[in-house]
A and B are shown apart, each in its own frame.
Chain A
C-alpha cells in the first residue's frame, strides 16, 4: 500500500551554507496514524516541516505524496488541497476576521462545500470559537483563539494529511485536550495522516509513532 507521505533520502542545506540541516532522512507516514516529531531547537524540525508541507524542496532526495514526488507536483495545489498546515505563529491574515480567513482558504482550495460560511462557523464552534468571536478580526483575538482559528483553517478543506507545528502551544489544558482529541479522531476515525511537531509530552502521548530529530538525522523512538 502506498504511504500518505514519505521521505526518501531527504537532505537539505540552506543556500550559502555548507552544512546540511537534514541528512539523508527516510521515513513513511501512513493514513490513520498520529506522528509526532520531537527535537531540540535548531535540530531541523521546522525545516522538515516546510519540506513536508510543500513550502520548500529538499536539496537531495524526494518528498513523496501518494508515491508522487513533490518536485513533479503542482505544489500550490498540494498545499491548498492535500495538506492542512497549522503554523506555530498561526500565519493568519490579521486584518481579516476568523471567518474570512477560513472561507478564503476554502476558496483557494476550491472546496466543494456549498455554504462555506455556515461550514466555517460550525468548524470554529468545534474549536471553541463562538459566532461573535468568529466575526472579529484576527488581530483582536487572543493567542489561543488565533491558534484555534489556525487549526480550523487547516481542517477547512478536509485534507488527507494534517501537519502542525506546536499546535497546542497557546492553548489552556482543557482546550489542549479537546484539540488533541480532535487530532486523534481525525487520524483514527477519519483515516487521516496527522504529523505533529512538538515539545509537549502531552502531545507526544497521543502519537502512534514518535520520531526524534537530532543532528539532522531522524530516528524512531
Chain B
C-alpha cells in the first residue's frame, strides 16, 4: 500500500474536525453559502451585462455617423438670404470624399456600397418584356422635406453593384451549373470582372469567360440659385443637365442564383430594372474606376467603423483636414447605444454594488466568526502546540477546514446561484426598463433622440452621386430579456473570491494563533 504523504494528516484531521464540530461548521457554511449565492448571482448578472455593453459599445460606439448639422444649415441659409425667404440646401459629400475618408488608420474598416444603372447590348435582361426603368438623373433641391426632383431621361435594364453580403446572408448563391473544364464560377476578384444571374446568362447565351460591355451615364449637377423662388428656375436647371457616357468592359467570371424573389413578387415587377436578377455584381474598384470629379451617377454609401470608440474626436479632426465641411457632424450612434445599453448598465451597476456590499459585509461576518471559532478552539490549539505541532501547521489545518467548507459552498452556491440568477435578473431588468421608460416619457423628447429638423433625413440622397448615412433613425430597441449565463470568467472570479474569503479566515487564524503560547493556554484552562 502506498505510504501517504507526511502532511496528509493535516487534511485528514481537518476533515475529522469538520465532522466533530459540525454544528458550528454548518452555521459558518450557511453564511458562506448565502454569500456565494449572492455573489454568483451578482457576478453572473455583472459579467453578462459587461459582455452586452462591450458588444454594443463596439457596434454602436464605433460606427461613425456623418449627419448634417440642421441648425447650422438653417443659420447659414438665414445669413445668405437677402429676401427673407429661406431655402435650405442639404449638403452632400462626394463619392470621392467618402472613399478618401475611408482611408484612415483610425478605422477598423470602411464598408462601401456602390451601384449604378447600366445597359448592355450583350445581355438580355430577365423580364425584358417589362421594359427598362430606374431613371437616374436628378438632384436635391432644398426646402422643407429635402425634395428630390428627377428628370425624364435614360432608362436602364441593369444595375452594377458590389453587394456580396447577399451570398453570406443567403439571398444569393453561387451557381456551379455553368462550370466547364477550363472555367469555374467564382466571385469577381479583379477590376472589370463580373458576375451575372443564371437567368441573364441563359437568356444571353453567354459562357464563363465571355466579355460584355456595359454602359452608364454620369451627370453634372446644375448650379442652383438657392435664392430663387420661381419654380420655373428648377425646370430650366434640370434641362441644363450635362450627361457623360461611361462604359465598362467586363469579363463574366461567375454566375449566381437569386433566392429572394417569389413568382408572385416577379409578377408584380413594373420594370426589368427592378428585377434583382438583372443586377451585375462587380468589385468596388470596378465601379469606382468610372467615378469622375463633380459628376453624379454612381451611388456610393460608406460606413466607417472606428478601431475604438474613443478615437471619434481624432477621426473628426482628420475628416476636417480631408475637407469635410463644418455643416457635417461626426458622431457615433449614441441613440442606439443608449437605447439598448442604459438598462443593462443600470443593472450592471446594481450588481456591482451588490457584490461589493455582500463581500464587505461577508468578510466582516466571516472575520468575526473565525475569530470566535478560534477562541472556542483555543484549548485544542494549545494541546496541538503542546504536542509539538508547528504554528504554521495549526494554521494550515484551520485554513484547510475553511477551504473545504468554502469549496462545498462554492459548488452548492454555483448550482443554486445559476438557478436563481435568471429569475432575479428578469425582475431587476424589468424594473430598470420600466424606470427608464418612465424617465424617457417625462424627459425632453429631443434629448437622447434624433433631431428631426427641417430638411428631414438625407438618407438615400439625390439620385445621382449620393450616399446613405448610417445611424440615421435608429431601430435599436432595448433587449427584451437579459439571458444570463455562467462563463469561465465568472467561475474563475468566484474561485478567487472564495479563496479570498477563506484567506480572511486564514489571516485571522494566523494572527490569533501567533499570539497564543501553549503554556498560557493550558495553564488558563487548568
Binding site for B on A (CB under 8 A): 50, 55-56, 76-81, 85, 87-89, 91-93, 95-96, 100, 104-105, 107-110, 114, 153
Contact = CB atoms under 8 A, between A and B. Distances in A.
B26 to A, nearest CB: 15
B515 interface: no
Contact of B386 (A81, A91, A109): A91
Contacts, number: 59
Contacts of B390: 76
Interface in B345-399: 380, 382-390, 393
Nearest to A56: B519
Query: Helix, strand, loop or mixed for chain B's interface?
Result: helix
Q: Which of A77, A87, A95, A107 has the most CB of B within 10 A?
A: A107
Contacts of B526: 87-89
Interface stretch (B13-21, B44-52, B110-118, B173-181): B13-21
B518 A80 contact: no
Contacts of A93: 380, 383-384
A100 B387 CA distance: 14
A109 B388 CA distance: 7
B522 interface: yes
Interface in B472-526: 518-519, 522, 525-526
A108 B380 CA distance: 14
Interface in B10-34: 13, 16, 20-21
A153 B16 CA distance: 18
Nearest to A107: B9
B9 A104 contact: yes
Interface residues of B, number: 23
Interface of B: 3, 6, 9, 13, 16, 20-21, 380, 382-390, 393, 518-519, 522, 525-526
Nearest to B380: A93
A86 to B, nearest CB: 11
A76 B387 CA distance: 8
A92 B9 CA distance: 18
A79 B525 contact: no
B519 A80 contact: no
Given A89-B522, A95-B21, A100-B16, 6 more contacts: A79-B387, A92-B383, A93-B380, A95-B20, A104-B387, A108-B393
A87 B525 CA distance: 12
B454 to A, nearest CB: 86
A80 to B, nearest CB: 2
A94 B16 CA distance: 13
Contacts of B386: 55, 79, 85, 87, 91
21 contacts: A56-B519, A85-B386, A89-B525, A89-B526, A91-B386, A91-B525, A93-B383, A95-B20, A95-B21, A96-B16, A100-B16, A104-B9, A104-B384, A107-B9, A108-B387, A108-B388, A108-B389, A108-B393, A109-B388, A114-B3, A153-B387
A44 to B, nearest CB: 14
A184 to B, nearest CB: 25
Nearest to B10: A107
Q: Which of A76, A88, A96 has the most CB of B within 10 A?
A: A76
Contacts of A96: 16, 20
A76 B21 contact: no
Contacts of A50: 519
